[in-house]
């Protein structure tokens, strides 16, 4: 669900102008995960969500009635809040509910003290105010999902407003047919958010960014808004933080610029985010893109063990997650100059390009 670079940049600049003083960062988990059982299914689209999908109408419109062979659990990506107040995607396995549309059920798992409570990862919390109910959801032909919430939704503080918007938007736009989210409260359209007045009349998409951070970039109009993933850690487990930043670069050099930003690590002001690259890591050749695969060649400083020729999981995940945010990039092939084979920390060779799904399935992101 990649968005056009130009659209992302314009939306990011608009967000910076509108949301000055409300910038923060976000995070995400890296925990080893067992192979999911056959009864667990990953939902990647929302093809059957329509205007009349409301609570009480049973299965999603267009779906056949469920039978005993249908999965009883499903993996959903929920954007939660970490201990630093950053919006973070976590993939959780939740029970299926035949009485509700998939998007409605997913959004309900963002409500504090709601059904997600007993399955929250350590250090994370839900974002929507306690008691918030999803009255209805209507999906328009242009991909705009209109979400009508109950009055309880308004019971939040100013500092929570952007967190709520980003968590809702990124959680709902994980479904392929949802491009944009618009908000209603008790049936009334909202031009601004009810507490701090954030403009939302046109709806929000992923192009508005997540955990916005400008840093020391001064020329936003000639920059491209890009989402990078930096590691963070809680209770000894790594997770990855999506941060939308402006990058000053020509489009042809964007891959190299993304890599350099990841290698340099987060700015000192981004508390809790880590730099897991060894000193002196650099590309030894220009990145090469072909048929959805981006090939990168590094010097041997990228190894966390030169003797074993291994690259750490955190380094690889940071690269793959960040670069597959770029339009058209489906996988990343990492090689090291002067080395025939490169291995991960499990001793497995990188014999083929690594996709975003490879990283997510291995890490539990």
Q: Give the per-residue pLDDT at 11.
A: 55
What phi, psi does 128 have (nearest 5°)?
Answer: -80, 145
What are 30's strand-pairing partners?
A: 238
Q: Give the per-residue pLDDT at 117.
A: 96
Q: Between 48 and 230, name the one with better pLDDT.
A: 230
Give CA separation, 294 vs 116, 163, 318, 329, in Å.
Answer: 37, 32, 14, 6
Q: Between 134 and 234, name the one with better pLDDT.
A: 134
Ranges of each domain in the chain: 5-208, 276-365
Q: With bands split at pLDDT 50, 70 and 90, how would you rate the model's confidence at 50?
A: very low
pTM: 0.80
What phi, psi does 320 have (nearest 5°)?
Answer: -65, -45
Average pLDDT over residues 304-309: 92
Residue 120, burial from CB neighbour count under 10 angstroms (0-12, 13-18, 19+): middle
Rounded percentage of the chain residues whose pLDDT exceeds 90: 64
User: How far is the C-alpha of 203 from the C-alpha of 116, rounded, in Å?
Assistant: 26
Q: At 362, is the secondary structure helix, strand, or coil?
A: helix
Give CA separation, 129 vs 126, 139, 240, in Å.
Answer: 8, 24, 25
Q: At 258, is the secondary structure helix, strand, or coil?
A: helix
């Amino acid at each position: 669900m990649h968005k056009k670079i130009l659209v992302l940049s314009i939306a990011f600049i608009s967000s910076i102008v509108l949301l000055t003083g409300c910038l923060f960062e976000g995070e995400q988990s890296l925990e080893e995960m067992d192979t999911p059982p056959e009864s667990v299914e990953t939902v990647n689209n929302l093809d059957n969500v329509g205007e009349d999908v409301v609570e009480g109408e049973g299965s999603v419109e267009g779906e056949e009635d469920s039978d005993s062979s249908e999965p009883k659990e499903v993996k959903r990506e929920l954007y939660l809040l970490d201990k630093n107040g950053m919006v973070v995607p976590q993939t959780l396995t939740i029970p299926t509910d035949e009485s509700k549309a998939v998007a409605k059920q997913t959004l309900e798992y963002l409500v504090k003290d709601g059904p997600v409570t007993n399955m929250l990862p350590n250090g994370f919390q839900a974002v929507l105010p306690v008691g918030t109910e999803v009255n209805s959801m209507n999906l328009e032909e242009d991909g705009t999902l209109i979400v009508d919430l109950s009055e309880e939704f308004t019971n939040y503080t100013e500092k929570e407003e952007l967190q709520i918007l980003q968590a809702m938007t990124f959680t709902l736009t994980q479904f392929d047919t949802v491009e944009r989210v618009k908000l209603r409260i008790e049936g009334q359209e909202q031009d601004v958010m009810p507490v701090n007045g954030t403009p939302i009349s046109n709806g929000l998409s992923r192009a508005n960014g997540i955990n916005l951070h400008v840093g020391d970039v001064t020329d936003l109009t000639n920059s491209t808004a890009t989402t990078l993933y930096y590691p963070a850690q809680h209770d000894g487990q790594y997770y990855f933080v999506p941060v939308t930043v402006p990058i000053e670069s020509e489009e042809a050099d964007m891959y190299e610029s993304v890599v350099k930003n990841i290698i340099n690590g987060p700015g000192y002001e981004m508390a809790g985010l880590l730099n897991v690259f060894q000193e002196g890591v650099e590309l030894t050749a220009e990145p090469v893109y072909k048929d959805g695969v981006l090939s990168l060649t590094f010097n041997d400083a990228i190894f966390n063990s030169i003797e074993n020729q291994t690259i750490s999981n955190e380094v690889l995940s940071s690269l793959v997650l960040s670069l597959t945010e770029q339009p058209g990039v489906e996988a990343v092939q990492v090689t090291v100059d002067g080395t025939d084979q490169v291995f991960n920390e499990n001793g497995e060779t990188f014999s083929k390009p690594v996709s975003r799904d490879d990283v997510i399935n291995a890490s539990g992101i």
